[in-house]
Amino acid sequence: MSTSTLNALKLVTAKKPTTMPPIIGRRNKLAEKIWDQIQLAKALKEGGTYTTKRFKSIKDYDGASKTVEFNKRVRQWWFTSEQGKVCLSIRYGARLIELAKGKSAVELGTAEDLINTLEIIRKAALAGELDTQIEQVSGAVKAAFKK
């Protein structure tokens, strides 16, 4: 690679952080789960299915540990209300996230709006707009473990 090629790139001095703040990890976790929902919605729209790959360590008969890959089903976060509208709830773990005071779902006109709405919510989560809601829900999850 010649120097003239490198001049076209923006070169910076950067150091990889050794630790990541917990809220960044939670944002990324929520964004990943929303991405799974987007993929599920696209697959259902095309008439297919969507599962994620998970890895699990198990011990065989000899006592040796090995890693096994398996498919994990992704449960959809949306449902159809009595009025025929599609409602989308955002979850962090098993808990619903309150998007506004007392409101935990987004009402959509049609199923076609679902993918766009999920992408908007994913961008908002990555931008930090849902940080307070994530903190409330993760605090409730932690409190349940301490009982």
Block means of pLDDT (10 residues each) for the chain, 147 residues, are 73 83 88 92 88 88 86 90 88 87 86 87 90 83 67
Give the containing element (helix H, strand E) for 30.
helix 22-45
Q: Kindly report the pTM of this predicted structure.
A: 0.76
- Give the three-class secondary structure for 123: helix
Predicted pLDDT at 147 = 62
Provide the pLDDT for residue 14: 85
Structural domain boundaries in the chain: 21-49+75-140
Q: How far apart are CA 33 and CA 94, in angstroms?
A: 12
- For residue 94, the model assigns a pLDDT of 84
What span, in angstroms and rounded, lies between the C-alpha atoms of 122 and 15?
A: 27
Burial 64-88 (b: 16+ CB within 10 A, else e): eeeeeeeeeebeebbeeeeeeebeb
Q: Which helix (H) or strand (E) holds 39?
A: helix 22-45
